[in-house]
Amino acid sequence: AFPADILDRASLTDALDAASARFGGIDVLEYSPAPHSAVPGLTVVAPSEATVDNLQPMIEYGFYGAVAAVRAVLPA
């Protein structure tokens, strides 16, 4: 296993680098973060209650983590 903290992009990149080194590259990336326990700062709100401040952690978690993961596995 190659555990990583999605909110810590260096941790995510390190885990993907380790997996790539172990298996000789990464051909397919499945990115589907689903917290198994509470993640500090992540809250689900009704659309009518959404603000930039309460959506930012979800964007960091779901979107920017995906961008970092894809960039880490793309060929140089």
| pLDDT score of 1 more than 80 | yes
H-state helical runs in the chain:
9-23, 52-59, 65-73
Q: Kindly list the domain boundaries of the chain, sorted by start residue.
A: 9-73
| pLDDT score of 3 more than 80 | yes
pLDDT at 69: 94
pTM above 0.85, yes or no: no
Under a CB-based contact definition with an 8 Å cutoff, are residues 39 and 61 in contact?
yes
Under a CB-based contact definition with an 8 Å cutoff, are residues 62 and 39 in contact?
no
pLDDT at 11: 94
| pLDDT score of 32 more than 90 | no
| pLDDT score of 35 more than 90 | no
What is the chain's alpha carbon radius of gyration, rounded to the nearest angstrom? Answer: 14
- Higher pLDDT among residues 75 and 22, named by residue: 22
